[in-house]
Every structure is written in C-alpha cells, then in structure tokens.
Amino acid sequence: MADIVSTQAKTAPRPRRRNKISAYETRTAFLFLLPSLLGFLAFMLIPIIASFGLSFTNWQLLAPPQFVGLSNYIRLLTTDPAFFNVLGNTLFFTVEYLVLNIVISLTLAVWISSLKRGQRWFRVIFFIPTFTPTIAVSIVWLLIFTPGGVMDYLFQTLALTVPNLLLDSKLAMQAVIIVTLWAGVGYNMVLFNAALDLVPQSYLEAAKIDGASAWDRFWKIRLPLISPTVFFGTVMTAITSLQVFDQIYVITRGGPGSSTATLGFAIYTNGFQNYQMGFASSLAWVMFVMIMALTGFQFWLQRKWVHYDS
C-alpha cells in the first residue's frame, strides 16, 4: 500500500508558496479529517488495540480476562492439533478461489464488453447475488447440495456417478468455492468491465489494421491497459478470501471432518461457540499477519505485470 501513497507524495509539486500556507492547510485538513478520525478512533482503533490485548489473555467471556502472556500463540503453534490443518485449508481456498474468481470475472467482463446489445442487463444479472441476504444464499445452496437434493438428482438423471460434494472430505471445499464464486464474481466483473470500456478504441483499431488477432489484442493491449484495475481487484479479493467465514459457517460448518475449517471459521468457533475469546484473538492476529504478508507479496509482484500509464 505504501507504494500508492508515496508515488503521490513524490509527484506532487512543492513550490515554496505552498509551504507558507501549510499551517493554514494543516488546520483545514484537520477539520476535514476530524469526523473521520473520531469515528476511526472510537470504532476501529480502540477495538483493534483491545483485540490485540485480548490475544494475551485467557478470556472465557463469562469471567474477567486473565493475562497469560504468549501462551495462546504458543498453544496454536505447538499443541493445537487443528491449527495447521486450518491454515492449510485457508491457503487452499484462497489460492483456488482467487485464481478462479479473477479468471471467471475477467472472462465475463471481456465477453460482456464484446456484446453489441444487452450489456447492462448482463451486468445486473451477474451482480444480483450481492443483494442476496446470506441466510437465503445459504439455504438455497444447501437445498441444491444436500444429499438427495437438486445436484444429486441432476447427476442421477444424467447417469453420472458423482459423489455428493458435501459428504466427501476432498470435495467439500469445492462446494464452498462454487458458492463463494457465485456470490463474489459480480464485484470484479463490474470492475473489470468498466475498465475495459475505457480502453481507447483507437488502440484496438490500430492493432487490428496491423493484423493482430483478437487473442493478441487482448493479451498485448487490453490486459496491460486494465492491469492496474485487475491488480486492485486481486488484492481486495485476496484480503476477503483469507477471511472467508460466512459461506463455511452456513453451509458446511467446517465439515465433513475438518475438511472445510478455515481460519475465519476457527476464530468464530473458538470465540463465540467455545467462548475462548483470548485464543480466538490470537488466531485473528495470525490471520492479520498472513493478510499483510500476502498483500505485501502482491505489491512486490505487481512490478512484474502491472502496467502503469504515467
């Protein structure tokens, strides 16, 4: 994130005249920021610090917290049998979901932008799942996936022997990924579609005259031009997919076995079901570090493929 910030700082002109009014500007800026800062402090920063503090306690919610030092962190790294499994599930989900989400939403975006008619209707259709209340999403998909439900019926009718996704510990995560993709590709599709619309038509025409195929035009012109948008979509999707919780909570509850238990799910179960808020907080901070690391990695990687037009 620091990159975006510092680019702006570097490119901003700094004539002397500006420096003289900076005291006034600082005051104005402070007034502009005041409401946001107050809210940020009360409803973000203080809770975050509190949750960090809680990760060093043994808080069972019903009795006051006790300071236990690093023992939550030591427990999750050494004795907890579930932690590394949960970590593995989370990474598996994130990688597969991230790749599929970007590929599918980009494909849909390119496809829709190539249409001559009905673009806006397709955009709304693929965006509809975002309006759907989580509980409804979960029930509809459960009715589809449940043993004896629509999915099984369909495979039976087609005489295919596909095991029920929710009953197979190797496939259950695929069910979660399908639901998450259905619910989530709309955001990135809208984003990429808008970016594609802004690619100057003249570039594409010129390339066409030079004899570039549609395939080449996509890889050599359109993708590089929208790469900053794709990059931001990827970063945001990665952040949210490492936190995946809702779909797992409502569809598989971590099962069968522990094949779909992720970090987000483990935080909820430990905190709100087993009432071990201190331990749950330490899991949350492990997750935070992972998200930071992945985001940092993506910023490092962007130099290789993101094309900034400046």
Looking at residues 86 to 105 of the shown chain, list those that interact with other proteins (rule: CB under 8 A): none
Is residue 266 a contact point for other proteins (CB under 8 A)? Answer: no
Under rule CB under 8 A, residue 224 binds other proteins: no
68 — phi, psi (to 5°)? -125, 15
Minimum CB–partner distance for residue 57 and other proteins (Å): 12
Of 50 and 70, nearer to other proteins (C-beta) is 50
Return the structure tokens found at 263. Answer: 């970090």
Residue number with CB closer to other proteins (92 or 255)? 255
Residue 88 — left, alpha, or beta (φ > 0 → left; ψ -120 to 50 → alpha)? alpha
E-assigned strand segments in the chain: 57-58, 66-67
Q: Which is nearer to other proteins, 30 or 305 (CB)?
A: 30
247 near other proteins, judged by CB under 8 A: no
Q: What are 57's strand-pairing partners? A: 67
| x-marked contacts with other proteins along 22-41 as a string, rule CB under 8 A | x--xx-xxx-xx-xxxxxxx
Whichever of 128 and 304 has its CB closer to other proteins, that residue is 128
Residues in the chain, overall count: 310
Judge whether 229 and 94 are in contact, CB under 8 Å.
Answer: no
| CB closer to other proteins out of 72 and 240 | 240
Q: Which of 102, 177, 247, 254 binds other proteins (CB under 8 A)?
A: 254
In this chain, which stretch among 66-74, 88-96, 117-125, 215-223 interacts with other proteins, using CB under 8 A?
117-125
Verify binding: residue 42, other proteins, rule CB under 8 A.
Answer: yes
Does residue 85 belong to the site contacting other proteins (CB under 8 A)? no
CA angle (119, 120, 122) in 5-degree steps? 70
Distance CA 141, CA 170 (A): 19
Residue 299 CB contacts under 8 Å (≥ 6 apart), including other chains: 1, 3, 235
